[in-house]
Amino acid sequence: MRGRAAAPTSEGRRERKKRELRDRIYQSARKLFLRRGFEATTVEQIADAADVAQATFFNHFSGKNAVLAEMTREVSARLQELVAEQIPRRVSAQEKIRAFGERAAEEIEASLGVARDVLLELLSTSSRPGEAFAYLAT
């Protein structure tokens, strides 16, 4: 799916460096999840790939599940964007659904190694019947 949005330009040097380090850790984890799979990736491997100590990893994330949760929020946001793209189209609901499904499938295909784990994380949110998933709440 897509990368994250840029941070506000008013942040100071310290905040920028902290954000950049967190993003480096996140991107390293993301690449490892895609290459090795979520279960086979360890925090040690993520820290090594990001060239940080494990303690630094834990300063930014509580564990690899926290990285997966962030990825899940990104996927959810992207799916909402894809839905929003279809709403104004002057075609049938069936055509909108088909177009949404095709676009989502194309983007998910690029991240098959993690797609299952992201989907399971999304579905494991604590929502009740008739309520929106927590990740989809606005």
Please state, in angstroms and rounded to a whole number, the distance separating the CA atoms of residues 68 and 117: 8
Among 30-39, 57-66, 96-105, the minimum mean pLDDT is found in 30-39
Average pLDDT over residues 21-39: 91
Question: In the prediction, which pLDDT does 99 show?
Answer: 94
Question: In the prediction, which pLDDT does 79 show?
Answer: 85
For the chain, the average pLDDT equals: 82
Question: In the prediction, which pLDDT does 138 show?
Answer: 40
Question: In the prediction, which pLDDT does 6 show?
Answer: 53
Please state, in angstroms and rounded to a whole number, the distance separating the CA atoms of residues 5 and 113: 23
φ and ψ at 53, to 5 degrees? -75, 155
Average pLDDT over residues 94-118: 81
Residue 72: pLDDT over 90? no
